[in-house]
Amino acid sequence: MAIQQQRDLNQSLSTELNRNRHLTRKLINTEEAIRQEISRELHDEIGQNITAIRMQASIMKRLEHSPKIAQVVGMIEQLSLNIYDTTKGLLNRIRPKMLDDVSLQQAIQNLF
C-alpha cells in the first residue's frame, strides 16, 4: 500500500513539474512577444517623429539666416539625436537586436 502511494505521489509530482515547465516556457514566450511588440512600436513611432523633427529643423535652417535661429535649430537637431540615441539604447535593453537573428534559447546560450 505505501509503495503504491509513493508511486502515485511521484507520478503527481512529475505531472506538476511538467506542467510548471510548460507554463514557464509559455510565460517566457509571452514576455518575449510583448518585448518584441513594444520594441517595434517604439522604433517605428519615435523613429518617424525624430526624423520629422530633424527634417523640419533642417528646413528652418535653410530658410532663415538669422544666427539665433541657426543656434536654436542646431539645438533642436542635437536634442533629437539625443532622443534617438537614448531610444536606441532602451530598445536594445528591452530586446537586443541579436534576437532578430537567433532564437531566444540560442541568445541565452551565447551569454554563457
20 is in which domain, residue-wise?
2-94
In a domain, residue 48? The reply is yes
Largest CA distance in the chain: 95
Helix (H/G/I), strand (E/B), else coil: 103: coil
Cell 532578430 locates to 100
First-to-last alpha carbon distance for the chain, in angstroms, is 47
Name the grid cell of 26.
Answer: 509559455
Q: Kindly report the pTM of this predicted structure.
A: 0.57
Query: 54-102, pLDDT tens digit by residue?
Result: 888 888 878 777 888 888 888 888 898 899 888 888 888 887 777 677 7
> What dihedral angle (degrees, nearest 10) is formed by the CA atoms of 26, 30, 32, 36?
150
In a domain, residue 99? The reply is no
In a domain, residue 33? The reply is yes
d(CA 112, CA 107): 9
Query: 25-51, pLDDT tens digit by residue?
Result: 999 889 888 888 888 888 888 888 888
The total domain count for the chain is 1
